[in-house]
Protein backbone atom coordinates (compact mmCIF):
# COMPACT_ATOMS: atom_id res chain seq x y z
CA UNK A 1 0.00 0.00 0.00
CA UNK A 2 1.37 3.38 -1.04
CA UNK A 3 1.43 6.49 1.12
CA UNK A 4 0.90 9.94 -0.40
CA UNK A 5 2.78 12.91 1.09
CA UNK A 6 1.70 16.33 -0.16
CA UNK A 7 3.70 19.55 0.24
CA UNK A 8 1.36 22.53 0.43
CA UNK A 9 1.78 26.27 0.90
CA UNK A 10 -0.47 29.13 -0.09
CA UNK A 11 2.56 31.18 -1.18
CA UNK A 12 5.75 30.64 -3.08
CA UNK A 13 9.20 30.89 -1.51
CA UNK A 14 8.37 28.95 1.65
CA UNK A 15 10.95 26.24 0.98
CA UNK A 16 8.42 23.77 -0.43
CA UNK A 17 10.54 22.42 -3.28
CA UNK A 18 13.63 22.11 -1.11
CA UNK A 19 11.64 20.11 1.43
CA UNK A 20 10.11 17.93 -1.30
CA UNK A 21 13.39 17.11 -3.00
CA UNK A 22 15.26 16.56 0.26
CA UNK A 23 12.61 14.19 1.62
CA UNK A 24 12.15 12.41 -1.72
CA UNK A 25 15.87 11.66 -1.91
CA UNK A 26 16.00 10.54 1.74
CA UNK A 27 13.00 8.21 1.50
CA UNK A 28 14.47 6.78 -1.70
CA UNK A 29 17.78 6.16 0.06
CA UNK A 30 16.05 4.34 2.92
CA UNK A 31 13.65 2.34 0.78
CA UNK A 32 14.26 -1.42 0.75
CA UNK A 33 15.36 -3.10 -2.44
CA UNK A 34 12.58 -3.19 -5.00
CA UNK A 35 10.62 -0.24 -3.61
CA UNK A 36 10.25 2.85 -5.74
CA UNK A 37 9.44 6.40 -4.62
CA UNK A 38 7.54 8.77 -6.91
CA UNK A 39 7.93 12.55 -7.03
CA UNK A 40 5.08 14.36 -8.76
CA UNK A 41 5.79 17.96 -9.73
CA UNK A 42 2.47 19.83 -9.92
CA UNK A 43 4.02 23.29 -9.62
CA UNK A 44 3.98 25.24 -12.91
CA UNK A 45 7.55 26.36 -12.16
CA UNK A 46 8.70 22.69 -12.27
CA UNK A 47 11.62 23.22 -9.87
CA UNK A 48 11.41 19.70 -8.43
CA UNK A 49 11.50 18.26 -11.94
CA UNK A 50 14.49 20.45 -12.73
CA UNK A 51 16.35 19.03 -9.73
CA UNK A 52 15.47 15.44 -10.63
CA UNK A 53 16.69 15.86 -14.21
CA UNK A 54 20.08 17.30 -13.26
CA UNK A 55 21.44 13.85 -12.55
CA UNK A 56 22.49 11.67 -9.63
CA UNK A 57 18.97 11.30 -8.33
CA UNK A 58 18.33 7.93 -6.65
CA UNK A 59 17.78 5.14 -9.17
CA UNK A 60 14.52 4.16 -7.46
CA UNK A 61 13.07 7.68 -7.61
CA UNK A 62 10.54 8.13 -10.40
CA UNK A 63 9.63 11.61 -11.65
CA UNK A 64 6.24 12.73 -12.95
CA UNK A 65 6.43 16.13 -14.63
CA UNK A 66 3.83 18.78 -15.45
CA UNK A 67 0.99 17.41 -13.34
CA UNK A 68 -1.94 19.82 -13.25
CA UNK A 69 -5.59 20.26 -12.31
CA UNK A 70 -6.70 17.85 -15.02
CA UNK A 71 -4.17 15.09 -14.35
CA UNK A 72 -3.22 15.35 -10.66
CA UNK A 73 -5.61 12.70 -9.31
CA UNK A 74 -4.81 10.28 -12.13
CA UNK A 75 -1.08 10.85 -11.58
CA UNK A 76 -1.38 10.15 -7.85
CA UNK A 77 -3.45 7.02 -8.44
CA UNK A 78 -1.11 5.69 -11.12
CA UNK A 79 2.01 6.19 -9.03
CA UNK A 80 0.32 4.77 -5.94
CA UNK A 81 -0.09 1.45 -7.74
CA UNK A 82 3.65 0.79 -7.87
CA UNK A 83 5.49 3.13 -5.47
CA UNK A 84 5.85 2.82 -1.71
CA UNK A 85 5.73 6.59 -1.29
CA UNK A 86 4.29 9.26 -3.57
CA UNK A 87 5.44 12.82 -2.88
CA UNK A 88 3.57 15.71 -4.48
CA UNK A 89 5.12 19.17 -4.89
CA UNK A 90 2.25 21.61 -5.40
CA UNK A 91 2.13 25.19 -6.61
CA UNK A 92 2.37 27.92 -3.99
CA UNK A 93 -1.24 29.00 -4.06
CA UNK A 94 -4.69 27.79 -3.10
CA UNK A 95 -5.94 26.20 -6.32
CA UNK A 96 -8.13 23.34 -7.51
CA UNK A 97 -4.97 21.27 -8.04
CA UNK A 98 -3.88 21.83 -4.45
CA UNK A 99 -7.34 21.07 -3.06
CA UNK A 100 -7.57 17.83 -5.08
CA UNK A 101 -4.14 16.61 -3.98
CA UNK A 102 -4.87 17.37 -0.33
CA UNK A 103 -8.00 15.20 -0.42
CA UNK A 104 -5.90 12.29 -1.69
CA UNK A 105 -3.09 12.82 0.84
CA UNK A 106 -2.18 10.47 3.67
CA UNK A 107 -0.13 13.32 5.16
CA UNK A 108 0.21 17.02 4.29
CA UNK A 109 3.38 18.96 5.06
CA UNK A 110 2.64 22.66 5.43
CA UNK A 111 5.70 24.85 4.95
CA UNK A 112 6.51 27.91 7.04
CA UNK A 113 9.51 30.15 7.46
CA UNK A 114 10.07 31.99 10.71
CA UNK A 115 8.14 35.15 9.80
CA UNK A 116 4.65 36.35 10.65
CA UNK A 117 3.71 36.63 6.97
CA UNK A 118 4.61 32.99 6.45
CA UNK A 119 2.74 31.99 9.60
CA UNK A 120 -0.37 33.76 8.32
CA UNK A 121 -0.08 31.96 4.98
CA UNK A 122 0.46 28.63 6.74
CA UNK A 123 -2.76 29.27 8.65
CA UNK A 124 -4.58 29.66 5.31
CA UNK A 125 -3.24 26.31 4.14
CA UNK A 126 -4.30 24.68 7.41
CA UNK A 127 -7.82 26.04 6.96
CA UNK A 128 -7.88 24.52 3.47
CA UNK A 129 -6.74 21.14 4.84
CA UNK A 130 -9.41 21.21 7.53
CA UNK A 131 -12.08 22.24 5.02
CA UNK A 132 -11.08 19.35 2.76
CA UNK A 133 -11.25 17.03 5.77
CA UNK A 134 -14.82 18.18 6.40
CA UNK A 135 -15.66 17.66 2.74
CA UNK A 136 -14.59 14.00 2.77
CA UNK A 137 -15.67 13.51 6.41
CA UNK A 138 -12.28 12.14 7.36
CA UNK A 139 -9.27 13.66 9.09
CA UNK A 140 -6.34 14.50 6.81
CA UNK A 141 -3.17 14.40 8.96
CA UNK A 142 -0.80 17.33 8.64
CA UNK A 143 2.02 19.16 10.39
CA UNK A 144 3.90 22.42 9.90
CA UNK A 145 7.54 22.12 8.84
CA UNK A 146 9.67 25.18 9.53
CA UNK A 147 12.17 25.81 6.75
CA UNK A 148 15.25 27.97 6.18
CA UNK A 149 15.74 28.39 9.90
CA UNK A 150 19.04 29.48 11.43
CA UNK A 151 21.35 26.75 12.65
CA UNK A 152 23.06 29.14 15.05
CA UNK A 153 20.39 31.26 16.74
CA UNK A 154 16.68 30.98 17.53
CA UNK A 155 15.02 34.31 16.62
CA UNK A 156 12.34 35.67 18.94
CA UNK A 157 9.80 35.76 16.10
CA UNK A 158 10.30 32.05 15.39
CA UNK A 159 9.78 31.16 19.06
CA UNK A 160 6.65 33.32 19.17
CA UNK A 161 5.15 31.67 16.08
CA UNK A 162 5.77 28.17 17.44
CA UNK A 163 4.15 29.18 20.73
CA UNK A 164 1.11 30.55 18.90
CA UNK A 165 0.77 27.39 16.80
CA UNK A 166 1.13 25.21 19.90
CA UNK A 167 -1.58 27.15 21.73
CA UNK A 168 -3.86 26.70 18.72
CA UNK A 169 -3.24 22.95 18.73
CA UNK A 170 -1.49 22.98 15.36
CA UNK A 171 0.91 20.03 14.96
CA UNK A 172 4.51 20.90 14.10
CA UNK A 173 7.56 18.90 13.13
CA UNK A 174 10.19 18.79 15.85
CA UNK A 175 12.80 18.83 13.08
CA UNK A 176 13.47 22.06 11.24
CA UNK A 177 14.92 22.24 7.75
CA UNK A 178 17.75 24.66 8.35
CA UNK A 179 19.21 27.11 5.86
CA UNK A 180 22.24 25.25 4.47
CA UNK A 181 24.51 25.56 1.46
CA UNK A 182 24.12 21.82 0.83
CA UNK A 183 20.41 22.20 0.06
CA UNK A 184 21.13 24.97 -2.44
CA UNK A 185 23.87 22.82 -3.96
CA UNK A 186 21.38 19.98 -4.45
CA UNK A 187 19.17 22.30 -6.47
CA UNK A 188 22.11 23.43 -8.60
CA UNK A 189 23.94 20.15 -9.18
CA UNK A 190 21.30 17.49 -8.60
CA UNK A 191 21.64 14.44 -6.42
CA UNK A 192 21.29 14.41 -2.65
CA UNK A 193 23.31 15.42 0.39
CA UNK A 194 24.74 11.89 0.26
CA UNK A 195 26.07 12.28 -3.29
CA UNK A 196 27.46 15.83 -3.11
CA UNK A 197 31.24 16.27 -2.94
CA UNK A 198 32.26 17.23 0.64
CA UNK A 199 35.31 19.04 -0.72
CA UNK A 200 33.09 21.36 -2.73
CA UNK A 201 30.11 21.84 -0.41
CA UNK A 202 30.52 23.18 3.12
CA UNK A 203 28.67 21.81 6.14
CA UNK A 204 27.70 18.61 4.38
CA UNK A 205 27.79 16.36 7.46
CA UNK A 206 25.44 18.65 9.37
CA UNK A 207 23.12 18.76 6.36
CA UNK A 208 23.10 14.95 6.25
CA UNK A 209 22.12 14.79 9.91
CA UNK A 210 19.37 17.33 9.33
CA UNK A 211 17.94 15.33 6.44
CA UNK A 212 18.21 12.03 8.32
CA UNK A 213 16.39 13.50 11.31
CA UNK A 214 13.62 14.79 9.04
CA UNK A 215 13.34 11.41 7.33
CA UNK A 216 13.09 9.59 10.66
CA UNK A 217 10.45 11.96 11.99
CA UNK A 218 8.45 11.70 8.77
CA UNK A 219 8.40 7.91 9.00
CA UNK A 220 7.38 8.06 12.67
CA UNK A 221 4.53 10.42 11.87
CA UNK A 222 3.36 8.20 9.03
CA UNK A 223 3.35 5.19 11.34
CA UNK A 224 1.39 7.13 13.96
CA UNK A 225 -1.23 8.41 11.52
CA UNK A 226 -1.68 5.27 9.43
CA UNK A 227 -1.32 2.54 12.07
CA UNK A 228 -5.09 1.99 12.53
CA UNK A 229 -5.46 1.38 8.80
CA UNK A 230 -2.21 -0.59 8.65
CA UNK A 231 -1.17 1.35 5.55
CA UNK A 232 2.55 1.64 6.18
CA UNK A 233 4.40 0.10 3.20
CA UNK A 234 5.91 -3.24 4.07
CA UNK A 235 9.61 -3.26 4.86
CA UNK A 236 9.80 0.54 5.17
CA UNK A 237 12.25 1.46 7.89
CA UNK A 238 13.99 4.39 9.54
Question: What per-residue confidence (pLDDT) applies to 230?
Answer: 45
Collapsed DSSP state (helix, strand, coil) of residue 127: helix
* Residue range of the domain that includes 48: 3-226
Q: How far is CA 230 from CA 1, 3, 218, 223, in A?
A: 9, 11, 16, 8
User: Does residue 99 lie within any of the structural domains?
Assistant: yes
pLDDT score of 232 more than 80: no
- Cβ-contact 36, 62 below 8 angstroms: yes
Beta-strand runs (E) in 61-164: 61-64, 83-90, 107-112, 142-149
Task: Please give the model's pTM, rounded to 2 decimal places.
Answer: 0.91
Q: What is the CATH number of the domain that holds 36?
A: 3.40.50.300
120 is a domain residue: yes
List pLDDT tens digits, range 168-213.
999 999 999 999 999 999 999 999 999 999 999 999 999 999 999 9
pLDDT value at residue 44: 93
161 assigned to some structural domain:
yes
Domain count, the chain: 1
pLDDT in tens, 37-86: 999 999 999 999 999 999 889 999 999 999 999 999 999 999 999 999 99
Asked, for residue 185, whether it belongs to a domain, the answer is yes
The residues near 58 (Cβ < 8 Å, ≥ 6 apart) are 25, 28, 29, 37, 192
Residue 238 lies in a domain: no
Q: Is residue 232 part of a domain?
A: no
Query: For position 93, what pLDDT does the model report?
Result: 74
Tens-place pLDDT, residues 92-145:
776 889 999 999 999 999 999 988 999 999 999 999 999 999 999 999 999 999
Buried b (16+ CB within 10 A) or exposed e, 176-185: bbbbbebbeb
Q: Are 11 and 113 in contact (CB under 8 A)?
A: no
E strand or H helix at 39: strand 36-42
Amino acid sequence: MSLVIVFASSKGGAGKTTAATVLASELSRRAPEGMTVSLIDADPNQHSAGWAKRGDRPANLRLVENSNETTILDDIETESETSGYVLVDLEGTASATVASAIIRADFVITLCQGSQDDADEAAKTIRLIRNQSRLIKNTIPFAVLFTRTSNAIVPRTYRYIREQFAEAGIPMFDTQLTDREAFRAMRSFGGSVHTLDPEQVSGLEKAKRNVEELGSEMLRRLRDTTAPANKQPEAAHD
